[in-house]
Structure 1
Amino acid sequence: MTRPATLPDAVVAALRCPLCSAPFGLDGRSLRCPSRHSFDLAKQGYVNLLHAGVAAGTADTAEMVAARVAFLAAGHYAGLRDAIAQVTAHADGLVVDAGAGTGYYLAGVLDRLPGAAGLALDVSALALRRAAKAHPRLGAVVWNLWEHWPVASEAASVVLNVFAPRNGAEFRRVLRPGGTLLVVSPERGHLAELASVAPVLEVDSRKEERLDAALSDHFELVSRNALRERVTLKPDDVRNAVLMGPTGHHPARLAALPEVTEPAEVTFAFSLSEYRRTV
């Protein structure tokens, strides 16, 4: 019989109780703090530390998660995953992925870091069911990134943020001095060819400038690299690319999507920005 997934020791050590901020211990299948607050691990291995609900349209739905799993399994973002792993190849401690989704990118980082553990934070329990099993040294925790994170200060050597909300103050708090923040965002033209299939948000031409300004109180930019590629997507991949994005939160838009019967040539365009925590 397969043993249920659980949390790595390094992840348990870094977590803090969201009710009293005390350290946790793992007691069987439950996280418990000295104040006797307790949070049970789901059978899939993740733990939900949220003590409040989230607004509708915030967390990925089952359909969005399934589309993302299928799209990533086809290898379309393998180049991006490799680029992220290369930038973070120096890490020697805990890697926190803020907005980890299914854990695809964090697992790629951990594959290159045999001594590291990973903490996947995301508001979607459905996505974290996948993340909890994405890598044996990965722990998955349901959390709202806009709230104070249930993570010890200066616990991480790296924070990843891939297409996810950015909480600069929490990025800085959980990173140790000299720690690295890697932010991945779409560049102008990313998936623009899919506009004929679904509404595609145009990337702000000043996006990087605004990103730097938003993080300037806590970080300094170390490097920025662009990754751009032209690929041909099969019809199923086109639909999955649409479903796993913001359109997936709008059932009416999904119902109105035209049938895709032909392959489509599209642009992948990403920006990888590496920041160093200011002391």
Structure 2
Amino acid sequence: MDPEIVNRLRCPVCAGTLAPATAGTAHALRCPRGHSFDVARQGYVNLLAGRTPHAGDSAAMVAARADFLAAGHYDVVSSALADAAVRALAEHRPDGGPPTPPADPVPTGGAYPLVVEPGAGTARHLAAVLAALPDAVGLALDVSKPALRRAARAHPRAGAALADTWQRLPLADASVAVLLNVFAPRNGAEFHRVLDPNGTLLVVTPVAEHLAELVDALDLLRVDPAKAERVAGSLAGHFTEIGTTEHRARLTLTRPEAETLVGMGPSAWHADPARLAARIAALAEPVTVTVAVRLSRYRPA
């Protein structure tokens, strides 16, 4: 893992600095108190303190979603994030220089902006942002090991770590320049702690028209009309919204792609599997679907 990333990681047990182990195996990170965390052969490091109540997406789910994203169906989201991240870093320092040093100083490095995505999945969106920011490094966080195996190699300047958004994030205070939150849980207090005071949080959420064709045909959960208010409430006291844009695209999908898309949303956990499968099988191909999302930009309060 890139030293610029490791320098900003913190032990999930004692919050101490982490560094590659110097004795025994090199495939581990260790803090001064001796807490050690294995680096999997696929490249991600396990920084989970204790057990997580859920294991995240399975290998089959991750593979299907990786294929779906690789086909470019959600590139409208990736492109919007990349554009917003470029703007955010341009505003980060008026002189275009590096971000403010973390309040919790790193031992070395820290010259490159760090982009972090909690709940990153396979890190396709993070990779798109890094491609637009040649001087930045990135870190994907997720609880799914199959997803992290892919995230660890999503981009040459990206690292990956097993971590739960609802626990303390394994990062130094004020060490992150840009946080990405794409259809994922939001931990306002922790996001605020790790984000540079001049940093930016980018939040992607669905709007009413999102996947409307599938919602109607398959009787899926509809987007909460109060979604924007609920997002703002989850960040209240920690962040201030500084701008919002909406982005749309029309997708032409096969039936299996539509099934994967449904599985990427909350309806997969609430619908009867047999009934949902039957309705998907009855869809006429090609399946035309609208992607409609809101991208909100926040600064620490």
Summarize deviations over 1:126-177 as a string: whole Å, max 9, x none.
1111100000111101111011111100000111100000000111100111
Alignment of 1:217-228 (within 5 A): 217-228=237-248
Gaps (5+ residues) in structure 1? 1-6
Report the secondary structure of 1:88's partner residue: helix
Normalization by structure 2: what TM-score? 0.85
Q: Which residue of 1 aligns with 2:229?
A: 209
Alpha-carbon distance, 1:210 to partner: 2.2
Summarize deviations over 1:48-83 as a string: whole Å, max 9, x none.
111322334x61112221121011011111121011
Alignment of 1:131-142 (within 5 A): 131-142=151-162
Alignment of 1:114-133 (within 5 A): 114-133=134-153
Q: Within 2, Cα distance between the matches of 1:220 and 1:184?
A: 15
Number of positions where the alignment pairs a residue of Structure 1 with one of Structure 2: 271
Summarize deviations over 1:23-71 as a string: whole Å, max 9, x none.
0001221101111111111011001111322334x61112221121011
Alpha-carbon distance, 1:251 to partner: 9.8
Summarize deviations over 1:212-271 as a string: whole Å, max 9, x none.
232120111111001122222122211221233335557961685022562111111100
Aligned pair in 2 of structure 1 residues 123, 98: CA closer, same or farther (>3 Å)?
same
* Residue 12 of structure 2 is aligned to residue 14 of structure 1: no
Q: Quick check: 93-102 or 58-67, which moved more?
A: 58-67
Q: Which residue of 1 aligns with 2:20?
A: 26
Aligned pair in 2 of structure 1 residues 15, 178: CA closer, same or farther (>3 Å)?
same
Aligned residue among 20, 30, 45 for 1:47: 45
Report the secondary structure of 1:195's partner residue: helix
Q: Within 2, Cα distance between the matches of 1:210 and 1:194?
A: 24
Gaps (5+ residues) in structure 2? 90-97, 99-112
Aligned identity (percent) is: 48
Normalization by structure 1: what TM-score? 0.91
Aligned pair in 2 of structure 1 residues 138, 131: CA closer, same or farther (>3 Å)?
same
Report the secondary structure of 2:7's partner residue: helix
Amino acid at match of 2:138: G
Report the secondary structure of 1:267's partner residue: strand
* Residue 78 of structure 2 is aligned to residue 84 of structure 1: no
